Structure 1
């Protein structure tokens, strides 16, 4: 997977417009051996951009009916920073159940996994995969591929920002050895408490290192900081 992800990242670097980005997203779907991949972004002015492998009919219906208002994935991920399995969200309301019924009828799939992204100037984006695998298969799949999905999400977002604004660059400073240690443990899937214990420091001190690394990397949140550090080769996993 790593070699194929590197090839995808190389393709993204040369992407010249949103039509090419859509094409590469379809390639990413095939690379991950998944039914659907979607990137959906809303900037500070409310402008929306979406690139998806869902059917054209479902995309037209989704945006035409402004389903983002009731979509538990959008509403739930907006309040979160970590990747979200759709099973963790609240689908108990009638509107949510009706929406899911329409989505499944449109071929969206029975399971989904979304990575929330927060960019500059109030930008909010979601990178999502969905499929109709069985529960046990889905659990194993997302556990195995979380790291690659987070990386892909942030690379796609960076390219979309570059296409929209002309640049996605921010000045980056070197991380300290301790900041690298903290980001490395988080990238390996350890919780903040586990990472703090492994390093022999308090969770408060750990948060200080995380915030310092996030500021240096120009990251919007902890996951973004870890993804950027990984993509820049600052971490060895």
Structure 2
């Protein structure tokens, strides 16, 4: 099965979920499919409403999750800071781990089989939500970099798809009506989902690259999406395009 089929199969499985309790089990299947050690989706901020305890679904061992919260690592975890300032995926090797308590956090995580390599994709929702999708691996450095490069496109779309699924199933967001997409908007989203960049989309559709930007901007606005990957994921979630 090729990588594009991995994404299609994964989103199809996630689409069938109807209960919040099914999310963590689904992530176990996805992490195995992509050759990763663990996956976690964390809702750091729920939007404009009052803050509350973070909502998460994860493949991490329950013992590690209990240790993490018991030691209040949420307050000092540099991964959590990515939700506040991050816009692009962040490799954990670039995080500041000089503080003794932060080093202890990562040392304990490794003792529970978390890492040593990790990547976090920040997601910013249109209603002020701040979420993080993290994946980890125990592969060697060069193999880890190759794994990330091969799957970054999928992880982008998967992170935003989970954003839609988690917030909906958990009741943290009410369903909203979406304006109908035009044929060109759907075509642009479909091609972006297949891994094409804007210049390639323009050639395939026989239109200018600036027109592709206009169609994508319109699609993002109609879908209430903050990025083009978010638009692809939301359109797939709403079954407006096939991934």
> TM-score surpassing 0.5?
yes
Q: Which runs of 5+ in 2 are unaligned?
A: none
Which segment is superposed worse, 217-226 or 16-25? 217-226
Write out per-residue CA displacement over residues 17-41 of structure 1, whole angstroms, 9 at most, x where no aligned residue. 1211111111111111211111111
Q: Report the Cα offset of residue 67 of structure 1.
A: 1.5
- Which residue number in structure 1 is paired with residue 80 of structure 2? 74
Q: Is the 8 A contact 1:37 1:52 kept in 2?
A: yes
Distance in structure 2 (CA, Å) of the matches to 1:80 and 1:189: 24
1:148 corresponding residue in structure 2: 154
The answer on whether the counterparts of 1:172 and 1:218 sit within 8 Å (CA) in structure 2 is no
CA distance in 2, matches of 1:105, 1:2: 34
| Residue 58 (structure 1) shift | 0.8
Where do 5+ consecutive residues of structure 1 fail to align?
A: none
Q: Is the 8 A contact 2:83 2:123 kept in 1?
A: no
Q: Given the alignment of the two structures, is residue 133 of structure 1 paired with residue 139 of structure 2, yes or no?
A: yes
CA offset at residue 125 of structure 1?
1.2
> Is contact 1:108–1:130 with CA below 8 Å preserved after alignment?
yes
**SS of the residue 2:85 aligns to:** coil
1:10–1:184 Cα change, 3 Å: closer
Taking only aligned residues, the RMSD between alpha carbons, in angstroms, comes to 3.3
Q: C-alpha separation between the residues in 2 aligned to 1:50 and 1:173?
A: 31
Size of the aligned set, in residue pairs, is 230
1:46 aligns with 51
Question: Structure 1 residues 77 and 84, CA, compared in 2 at 3 Å: closer, same or farther?
Answer: farther
The corresponding residue for 2:32 is 30
Structure 2 counterpart of 1:171: 178
Inter-partner Cα distance in structure 1 for 2:150 and 2:105: 29
Matches of 1:112 and 1:10, distance apart in 2:
25
Q: Give 3-state SS (helix, strand or coil) of 2:22's partner.
A: helix
TM-score between both structures, scaled by the size of structure 1: 0.79
Q: Cα–Cα, structure 1 residues 135 and 168, in superposed 2: closer, same or farther, change >3 Å?
A: farther
Q: What is the CA distance between 1:230 and its match in structure 2? A: 6.7
